[in-house]
Amino acid sequence: MNDVKETIRQFILSAHLQGESPDNLKDDTPLQTSGILDSLATLGLINFVEQQFHIELDVYDTSVERFDRIQDIAASVVDSLHAASRWNRGPISKSRRRNCPMLS
């Protein structure tokens, strides 16, 4: 899960906090409720997460309560990855695994 957190952190830093030290963006830093991310930036983060990790997040996953801190976003990503491999999508294919470095 640390790789997932770091990927999310690096995206936020490069897209929205350019020049900020990674040490200043902690796993529990509020992103939406503190104003770091506005609604458009949050949509961009959702799009990034879905594309980067080859998952689909629903409204519940992206609510402020579950999508406000890096640690919560990473937990949603990991839960979605595990659900995808357990349920209707079956095991994650080699091609999806190859395209998603967190699964390698």
Domains annotated for the chain, with CATH where assigned, are 2-103 (1.10.1200.10)
Burial class of residue 58 (count of CB atoms within 10 Å of its CB; 0-12, 13-18, 19+) = exposed
94 falls in which pLDDT band (50, 70, 90)? very low
pLDDT beyond 60 at 99: no
Percentage above 70 pLDDT, the chain: 82
Calculate the average pLDDT of the chain. Answer: 87
Please give the distance of CA 92 from its chain centroid, rounded to a whole number. Answer: 18
15 falls in which pLDDT band (50, 70, 90)? very high
Question: Dihedral, CA atoms, 64, 66, 67, 69, nearest 10 degrees?
Answer: 110
Q: What is the pTM of this model?
A: 0.80
Specify the higher pLDDT residue, 65 or 84: 65
